[in-house]
Structures are given as C-alpha cells and as structure tokens.
Structure 1
Amino acid sequence: PAETPEGQACGLVKNLALMCYITVGSPSDPIIDFMVQRNMDVLEEYEPLNFPNATKIFVNGVWVGVHREPAHLVSNVQALRRNGLISHEVSLIRDVRDREFKIFTDAGRVCRPLFVIDNDPKSSNYGNLVLTKEMVQTLEDDRDMLAAMEPEERERAEMGWKRLVKGGVVEYVDAEEEETIM
C-alpha cells in the first residue's frame, strides 16, 4: 500500500515503478569516436561561417562538435542502441528547433521501459510493435528454462526481459528523451 502524505509533505513523495532502471553510466569516448568517424566536425576545427546551420552535438552536457546531417546520425546511433552495440542506458535527444543532438551516458538517470514501434516505411511491420507473438512464446519458454537454472547461471543468461532489451524490442527512456521521442 502506498501512503499519501498530507500537509507540508504533500507533493514531495514519489514512488518508483517496478520496471524503472537507474543508469549506472558508461564511457562516452567510444560514442564520440564513432561520431567523428561519421563526419562530425570536432568543435576545435569547426568554422561557423562555412556551416551556420549545423546541428550541435553534446555528450553528457559538453559541446563536442557539430554535424551537417543530424537525422542520419541520430538514426545510426539509435540503430546501434537497438542492436545492442552501445549500452541500452544511453539517452538520445534530438532537439530540431534548437538544432541540438544530446547524448547522455552518465549515471543516476531514471529510465522507464517502452516497447519499440517499427518506424521503417519499407518494413511490412511499419507502425506496429516490434514485439511479435513468437517473441512472447520465447519468453514463456525462457521462463521454464530459467526456473531450472542455478541462480548464478540465471544471472548471466541473456533470456527473458534481458533478451527483449538486447534485441531492441524494449528501450529504456529517461524523462528528457521521452519529451522528444515522437
């Protein structure tokens, strides 16, 4: 049971949902290196008069460079996250109006899980959940297999919920990314 405070403490108590995740942080250097390889102009070498409409790239609040094709860059980094090549706790925020792309890899952000919808117009599953009936059946099979495993072995197994996150079916999204996700 959740208690609701009255009086002075009213509005100060927040409850954390069961599936929420607090980020533990991951290194930002590999992401910066990836973007430099993908034509990001490093801030020290950027000439504003040549590309006045370039999108600013921030990593953990630090302005690291600019990019001339932000839509392509954002979709590439998002695909890396969905394919498990970068950590699922990396947050990607594209602010079109301010021409900014912010990436957060720091610790302490509260994230919640959301199911991914296929937004590839070429896909036959366009506009639908990436989660399929076969995946749900696999989850049920995983549950039976996990029940038979030892606790240490169960912790290492890439099954169940971990499989959905690693497979890009579920994304963990923080509050700032949630505002720009659509």
Structure 2
Amino acid sequence: VQRCVETNREIYLNIGIKASTLTGGLKYALATGNWGEQKKAASAKAGVSQVLSRYTFASSLSHLRRTNTPIGRDGKIAKPRQLHNTHWGLVCPAETPEGQACGLVKNLALMCYITVGTPAEPIVDFMIQRNMEVLEEFEPQVTPNATKVFVNGVWVGIHRDPSHLVTTMQNLRRRNMISHEVSLIRDIRERE
C-alpha cells in the first residue's frame, strides 16, 4: 500500500489487506470473548462476547436480556448490587444469580422494551405542515388559549386545534407511517 502511495498508483484494498486475517481475528474474538490483539492478551477486554445459552427457550430469552455491571466480583460494596429507584419497571428485582455476582448481573423486566430512537425533525416538519406555529413566531396576545407542543421535552411550537393534531398523529402511527416508538401525550389541564 505504501509503494502505491509513493508512486501515485491506484490502491487496491484487496491486495493490501488479507481478508483471512480479518476473518481469523473476528472468529477468535467471538469464540474466546477476548477483544484486542491476540499477542497482547493482557490488554484485551475479556467477556465482551458470550456463547448464547440454548438450554431452554426461557433461558435463551433470559440470557439475551441480561445486563452486567463491570466492577470486581470480590468487592463488598453494597451500593452497586442494589436496585436504584430509576430501575422501577425496567430491571427485574428477583432475577439475579446467587454468590459473588449477586446484584451485579441483572435482567431486564419481561415487558421492558429498549428503543433505538427516531429523529425528531420529520415529526416537527409534519406538524408545521399541519398548522403548528413555530415558537419563534408565537405571539401570546393573539392566541392566549393555544396548546403547547413539545417534542422530546423541547417546546417547539403551539397549535390551536390539539385534538385534531393528536388524532392525526395517532392514525399515522397506527398505519406505520411514523415509528411505533413515538408516544403521544396530551395534557388538557396544562394545555400541552
């Protein structure tokens, strides 16, 4: 590769990089769980990948929903082993192994669903097309009873007919035109 750069020739990656080297490295890392250079085993991270438990269907699901706190197992500190208040409904309070890993290995609750997230800009643009007034153009004296519109906790504008906007967004979500992960909440008392 360096000779090609020095002589201003075209670089062909399939000549400069051996696919078998990359494949062998990935196979080794996935098989052993040690990620890093094979020669420098001391600096490699251990336990990154694990073999999926296929003992029963329930054990497979439990293994896929397992979380691991990356601290030493031999410590006597109780705080990392306890459930935090923010884990309510997200982490199962009963399913944890006994012994040294107790409380450090936790499992997600059965109904817990991890979302990837969707960009907010298309939703804001859609609501602007549906008569949402942008916050920069909002005049409180003209429309004092308007409903505030928040996207991801950020006040983006106001709308004069919130019930129509909410039903339109719900219909779009039901038809899978916007992501099913998008949640809609209308607070009539707070006009939000």
TM-score relative to the length of structure 2: 0.45
**Which structure would you say has the larger RCO, counting Cα contacts within 8 Å and 6 or more residues apart?**
1
Bigger proportion of residues as strand: 1
TM-score relative to the length of structure 1: 0.48
Structure with higher Rg: it is 2
